[in-house]
Chain A
């Protein structure tokens, strides 16, 4: 089975959404996927994280249309998508241990689909075993 590693180091709504969408394409294509969340992306994994900010494009029309589509439920939310992908198997999700500690969090404070709180050597090991590594 081919393997893909995704690194997400931003908690911006666009980046989180992109990570989940790319993971979906890969999982449904029978890839094994490992996602490593770093920096403020870890904060977005908090069970009680505040609502995410709206998408802000340099083109106001794009922001308006995408945010409207999100409100109308036309775009699947990244958290729901990752939960759904978990059911298909082949998806492992880890949060950076250093940021988790800095934020005063423990694994139980993070969303249930987070499998591990791990360091960069776990990321390195997964990356060396992978066919593709994408940083988002």
Chain B
């Protein structure tokens, strides 16, 4: 089980706010710490992985827990 250091509740926020809030939250973590992101924006299933790829962060997991219910684990790498 991956240890989560902080959870960002970005549910009910629409594009581009989930990524923007994730970026701010990750910046506040130490390198190698893990951010859990909860969203309801359907675009986040594409956008959060894209954001981690372009910024060199590690996407540990991207799960669809139910209809419009998503959970991501991202490890800060830089």
B54 touches A88 (CB 8 A): no
Q: Which listed residue (A30, A81, A87) contacts B16, Cβ 8 A?
A: A81
What CA separation (Å) do A134 and B54 show in the bound complex? 19
Q: Distance in Å from the Cβ of A26 to the closest Cβ of chain B?
A: 10
| Nearest chain B residue, comparing its CB with the CB of A69 | B14
* Cross-interface CB contact of A75 among B14, B19, B24, cutoff 8 Å: B14
By the criterion CB–CB under 8 Å, are A28 and B14 in contact?
A: no
Interfacial chain A residues near B15, Cβ < 8 Å: 21
- 1/0 per residue, CB under 8 A from A, across B1-45: the answer is 000000000000011110110111001000000000000000000
Residues of chain A lying within 8 A (CB to CB) of residue B22: 28
Interface presence of A25 (CB below 8 A): yes
Give residues in B with beta carbon < 8 Å to A. Answer: 14-17, 19-20, 22-24, 27, 51, 54-55
- A-B pairs, top 5 by smallest CB distance, nearest first, are A24-B16, A29-B54, A28-B23, A28-B19, A30-B55
